[in-house]
Amino acid sequence: MVGEMQSMNTILFYLLAASAVFSALATITRRSPPASAIWLVVSLLSVAGIFGMLGAPFLAALQVLIAAGAVMVLFLFVIMLVDQGEESLRPRIVSFGRVLGAVASGYLALILILAIWKPPFVEAPKSGAAYEAPLTLALAVVGRYALVLELVGVMLLVAAVAAISLAKRDTTAGEG
């Protein structure tokens, strides 16, 4: 029974990880921006699934709610507003950008992986119900990170005001 759960966990992790990476690749390689946006939603949903597997169900739900449900909706709105049709994938300045991009990113990935591939290779320690409960997260947020919480609140207010004032149409008298 325990062995079953283990292997199911592993399969689920590989499935979600493959889905996240594949849809992220699809995001950066589509020609039409709305298609990119849809693939990004799929990627964010897979990442939310991984959050759930990492013992953070509250954060998984928040990821779906905020990233996939609000931010991406905003993205799709703006994309449809400024839809210029399909664009060529070839970057305008660097001529063999695709090959160069792949090589550079491969190199970056290689150095990062070499940095983290160290023992010990251990399983996750047993987490009680206390770790997964939203209560633990809440106590940490209002306890240890209270100042950060307040600052983030102020930042969100500033961002809301900034976004509204930036995107407002200029309707001063005498102009169109």
Partner 1 sequence: MDMVVALAKVAVIFAMVVGFVPVLIWMERKGAAYIQDRRGPNRASIMCVRAGGFLHSIADAIKLFSKEEVAVAAAFRPAYLAAPIIAFFVATVTVAVVPFSEPASFGGFPFSLQVADLKAGLVYVLAVSSLGVYAVMLAGWASGNKFSLLGAMRACAQTISYELAIGLAALALFMLAGSLSLSAIVEDQGFWPWRWNAVRQPLAFAIFFTAMLAEARRLPFDLPEGESEIVAGYHTEYSSMRFAMFFMGEYAHIAVGSMIMATLFLGGWQLPFCESGWITENFNLVLAVVWPGAALALIAVGAMLAKRFRRAYRDARDFEPLLFGALAAAAGLALLAALALGGGEEIPAWLPAAFLTALQTLTLLAKTLILCCAFIWVRWTLPRFRYDQLMHLGWKVLLPLAMINVVVTAVAVLMYGG
Partner 2 sequence: MVTLQHHLILSVALFVIGATGVVVRRNVLVMFMSVEIMLASVNVALLAFSRWTLLPNGQALAMFIMAVMAAEAAVGLALVVAFFRLRRTVFVDEMKLLKG
Where does this chain bind partner 1 (CB under 8 A)? 32, 34-35, 38, 41, 57-58, 60-62, 64-65, 68-70, 73, 76-77, 80, 132-134
Closer by beta carbon to partner 1, 57 or else 97: 57
Closer by beta carbon to partner 1, 13 or else 36: 36
35 binds, options partner 2, partner 1, none, Cβ within 5 to 8 A by partner type = partner 1
Residue 33, preceding bond cis, omega within 30 degrees?
no
Closer by beta carbon to partner 1, 20 or else 44: 44
DSSP for 118-148?
Answer: -S---PPPP--HHHHSHHHHHHHHHHTTHHH
Task: Take residue 39 and report the two structure tokens written for it.
Answer: 């693939």
CA atoms within 13 A of residue 91's CA, in its CB half-sphere: 11
Q: Shortest distance, CB of residue 61 to partner 1, whole angstroms?
A: 4
